[in-house]
Amino acid sequence: MKRYFTLTTVILAAGLFLSACENGDENNNEERVREIPVETITITPDQFDDFIRVSGSVEAINDAVISSEASGQVRFIAERGQRVNRGDVVARLDDRVLRANADAARASFEFAQETFDRLEPLFADSIVSTQDFRGARTERDAARAQLDQAEKALEDAEIRAPFNGRIEERMIRTGELISPGMPVVRITNTDRIRVRAGVPERFSAEIREGSDVVVSLRSYGGSEYESSVSFAGSVIDPDRRTFPIEVEMQNPEGLIKPEMVVNLRVKRRAIRDAVIVPRTAIVRDEGSVNLFVAREENGYKVSELIEVRTGTATGPVVEILEGLQEGDEVVVAGMSNLSIGDRLNIIRNESSTERAARLQQSDRPVVTFD
């Protein structure tokens, strides 16, 4: 009887031990399933704008060094930084001699005109000879030319602005003697500017006049302005293998200054129904490009790594040519701790279109000019 009790006890203990081991294995299996917090996007095809990036330099459309057409002593010159309108006097020379010459030329012309007017009716009545009449007319015409020349020299004593702008440099000072052709001031108007850049020749069939452009300023934290190509050259630079483009745009706040270096995003094409994902979602392996996607498994969403083929990349987004289809859920944040088969705790989900719009709409201001 005692032996029977002992054997029964041993059997029961073994059963309890095995049961405990099975429960422990189940608990261990539960512990081994990791749950990783991630953000995902649901693929919704949308239009994808493909841009190329180039650098350009800024110049003012109206920017000129004004030179003197006369000689003399400088009596007045506008201050640097002064704003002037077209026709305003920016420098004035001593014009006393020039004014005297103009007065003398005017008197000579008036006398020659009176002589001609007196002889004209006499010539009609054949009272004076043809030679005397033609001589009077020649003297009148010569006096008229001398007067025009003297008046032009007098006008040149006042140097005027050819357009609205601002005095950026003064090359002379009050009291100096200058001669014709000598530079006087530099006038610049930055209300409207031009950006020049070179585009690689392989894009010559796609970048045309009218192509959309986003101009990004390096010097002001990347502020952006939208415009379009105003000129696209037809000749390739043989050294750089590029063709020139120009972008003209308004600059009402004066933030864009001549000689600045800016970044240009020139729209190359628009791809319809494109599948796009954030560039940061890409997981690169040896010889392959991959994405983590969410798949249903036993009522949970778990991670799966799939290989994809990428297309054009622009800024923070990249086009996926193969491997994804509409409705797929792609992991876009939290991949650093993610492994294949991990259970996903999706803390945020949005469409791929919404995500791309948020990425491309940075915190930098975008200004649109009509």
Q: What residue segments make up the domains of the chain, in order of their start?
A: 32-47+272-362, 52-61+188-271, 95-156
Class of domain 32-47+272-362: mainly beta
What mean pLDDT comes out for the span 264-285?
86
pLDDT single digits (tens) 189-248:
999 999 999 999 998 888 999 999 988 887 666 678 889 999 999 999 999 999 999 999
Instruction: Give yes or no for residue 5 having a pLDDT over 70.
Output: no
Question: Residue 108 has what pLDDT?
Answer: 93
32-47+272-362 and 95-156, same CATH topology: no
Instruction: Give yes or no for residue 370 having a pLDDT over 60.
Output: no
User: Is residue 205 classed exposed, middle or buried when 0-12, 13-18 and 19+ CB atoms within 10 A define those classes?
Assistant: exposed
pTM of the model: 0.64
Bigger pLDDT: 366 vs 322: 322
Fold of 95-156: Helix Hairpins (1.10.287)
Distance CA 42, CA 283 (A): 18
Query: 228 Cβ partners below 8 Å, 6+ apart?
Result: 210, 211, 212, 213, 247
Q: Which of 282, 202, 271 is nearest to 240 (CA)?
A: 202
pLDDT single digits (tens) 64-97:
999 999 999 999 999 999 999 999 999 999 999 9
Q: Which of 64, 77, 81, 80 is nearest to 158 (CA)?
A: 77
Fold of 52-61+188-271: Elongation Factor Tu (Ef-tu); domain 3 (2.40.30)
Give the strand pairing for 224-228 and 283-285.
Answer: unpaired
Q: How confident is the model at residue 3 (pLDDT cuts 50, 70, 90)?
A: very low
pLDDT single digits (tens) 17-39:
444 444 544 444 445 567 889 89
Residue 174 dihedral angles phi and psi, to the nearest 5°: -60, 135
* Amino acid letter, 199: V
Instruction: Give yes or no for residue 134 having a pLDDT over 50.
Output: yes
Identify the weakest region by mean pLDDT among 31-35, 130-134, 270-274, 290-294.
31-35
With b meaning 16 or more CB within 10 Å and e meaning fewer, what string describes 163-185?
eebbbbebbbeeeeebeeeeebb
Residue recorded with tokens 């797929």: 328
Instruction: Give yes or no for residue 299 having a pLDDT over 50.
Output: yes
Are 246 and 194 in contact by the 8 Å Cβ rule? The answer is yes
Residue recorded with tokens 């493909």: 50
Query: 108 Cβ partners below 8 Å, 6+ apart?
Result: 143, 146, 147
